[in-house]
């Protein structure tokens, strides 16, 4: 049996651990299996850039971050746009799949990657996918691999800010990854005792943010810490159309939303503001133990799907159990933070402000 495998989109800490899980389970259950690793994701599948993997390739990578076969971003919205030579990208991928006589293609990726995986499924290819994203925003699964490792790193960054913020009596803004959803900022903010958490799903009122800071100041607190998702948006901007908001961002003098928020807080309070952006450190380093276990379970479950020839599904987690979710149900759907969900209510009960 010949199996194709690729990692697509942004990297994260548990890609190698997940590929290892798939490979070990296949090697342990099949006498004759060959794994083809496509280099740099769908790009490798398009242009026949691959290598034949061996069991040794999957040895010692459980704790290794990144991906040993590389990754790249291939936007789903451009998948039907011809490449530089005028070739149909989807047809190129199908051609490679058939030329190599693959039994199935294993895809490790986030939202856009899952949409492309579903497109290939619709084109008749056997697909098994796994949910990779530090954003934990894939519909149908309670957890994605990479998320908890990123939470750990973002939390460490905010933890480190506490001592300097307390020492200088400043307002610190820590900008956490997450353009469209706020799971990472929400969990890291709660874990690190942030005073204010701003996420895309809950448009903020800057006066409410300032009020929360002033309340702390009056209570004798010398500093405040804000965990801000990079996609946080004000109530005013939330009323704009997508096109209008993009135009506003393009003309903004601020490098990111956190700097704009910081400037407005400074103008309204007179307090000294500092912005810290952990950036891509949130994707880097070794996977945490939680993700190593999750990735190993997901990998073994994906291998079982291949053994069962049950294709067209994504591996997911529901209530602590690994499940199979139809790709058709996953593709194109984001798992947003519900502003009325229990974790938000509990965070507010702790005194955390969301600026609403």
Q: At residue 291, does pLDDT exceed 90?
A: yes
Average pLDDT estimate for 3-24: 96
Percent of the chain clearing pLDDT 70 (strictly above): 100
**Bridge partners, residue 35, by sequence:** 3, 53
Average pLDDT, integer, range 120-142: 97
Residue 33 and residue 53 in contact, taking contact as beta carbons nearer than 8 Å: no
| Predicted confidence band of residue 167 (pLDDT cuts 50, 70, 90) | confident
332: CB partners within 8 A, 6+ apart: 111, 115, 118
What class has domain 151-282? alpha beta
pLDDT at 292 over 90: yes
Say what the pLDDT of residue 175 is.
Answer: 98
User: 166: pLDDT confidence band, cut at 50, 70 and 90?
Assistant: confident
**Interatomic CA distance for residues 185 and 229, integer angstroms:** 6
The mean per-residue pLDDT over the stretch 233-239 comes to 95
Inter-axis angle of helices 183-191 and 147-168, to 10 degrees? 50
pLDDT at 321 over 90: yes
Residue 229 near residue 185, CB atoms below 8 Å? yes
Q: Is residue 168 over pLDDT 90?
A: no
CATH 3.40.50.460 occupies which residues in the chain? 151-282
Given a contact cutoff of 8 angstroms between Cβ atoms, the answer to whether 338 and 347 are in contact is no
Q: Which of 57, 135, 195, 291 is catalytic?
A: 135
Rounded to the nearest 10°, the torsion over CA 147, 152, 156, 162 is: 80
- Give residue-wise pLDDT tens across range 78-102: 999 999 999 999 999 999 999 999 9
Average pLDDT over every residue of 297-303: 98
Verify whether residue 308 is a known catalytic residue.
no
Mean confidence (pLDDT) of the chain: 96
Q: Which fold has domain 2-146+287-330?
A: Rossmann fold (3.40.50)
d(CA 111, CA 138): 6
**Tokens in use for 85?**
């030579």
Tokens of 112: 């856009």
Per-residue pLDDT of 51-73, as tens digits, reads 999 999 999 999 999 999 999 99
pLDDT computed for residue 204 by the predictor: 97
Q: In a 3-state reduction of DSSP, which class is residue 64?
A: coil
Q: Quick one: three-class SS letters along 302-353?
A: HHHHHHHCCCCEEEEEECCEEEEEEHHHHCCCECCCCCCCHHHHHHHHCCCE
Minimal CA–CA distance to 304: which of 60, 128, 57? 128
- Predicted confidence band at 29 (pLDDT cuts at 50, 70, 90)? very high
> Rounded CA gap, 138 and 120, in Å?
18
């Amino acid at each position: 049996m010949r199996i194709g495998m690729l990692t697509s989109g942004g990297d994260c800490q548990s890609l190698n651990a997940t590929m290892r899980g798939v490979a070990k389970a296949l090697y342990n259950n099949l006498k004759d299996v060959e794994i083809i690793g496509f280099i740099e994701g769908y790009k490798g599948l398009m242009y026949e850039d691959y290598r034949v993997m061996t069991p040794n390739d999957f040895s010692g990578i459980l704790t290794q971050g990144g991906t040993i076969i590389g990754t790249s971003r291939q936007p789903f919205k451009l998948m039907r746009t011809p490449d530089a030579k005028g070739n149909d990208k989807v047809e190129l991928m199908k051609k490679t799949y058939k030329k190599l006589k693959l039994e199935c293609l294993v895809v490790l990726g986030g939202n856009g990657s899952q949409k492309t995986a579903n497109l290939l499924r619709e084109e008749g290819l056997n697909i098994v996918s796994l949910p990779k994203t530090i954003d934990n925003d894939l519909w149908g699964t309670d957890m994605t691999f990479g998320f908890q490792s990123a939470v750990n790193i973002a939390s460490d960054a905010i933890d480190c800010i506490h001592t300097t913020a307390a020492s200088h009596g400043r307002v610190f803004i820590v900008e956490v990854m997450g353009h469209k959803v706020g799971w990472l900022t929400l969990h890291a903010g709660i874990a690190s005792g942030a005073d204010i958490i701003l996420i895309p799903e809950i448009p903020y009122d800057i006066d409410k943010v300032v009020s929360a800071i002033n309340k702390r100041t009056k209570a004798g607190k010398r500093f405040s810490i804000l965990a801000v998702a990079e996609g946080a948006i004000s109530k005013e901007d939330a009323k704009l159309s997508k096109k209008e908001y993009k135009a506003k961002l393009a003309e903004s003098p601020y490098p990111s939303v956190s700097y704009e928020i910081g400037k407005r807080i400074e103008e309204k309070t007179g307090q000294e503001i500092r912005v810290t952006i952990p950036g891509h450190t949130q994707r880097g380093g070794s996977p945490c133990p939680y993700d190593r276990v999750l990735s190993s379970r997901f990998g073994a479950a994906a291998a079982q799907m291949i053994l069962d020839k049950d294709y067209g599904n994504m591996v997911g987690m529901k209530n602590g159990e690994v499940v199979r979710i139809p790709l058709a149900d996953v593709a194109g759907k984001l798992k947003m933070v519900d502003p009325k969900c229990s974790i938000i209510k509990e965070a507010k009960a702790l005194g955390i402000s969301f600026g609403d």
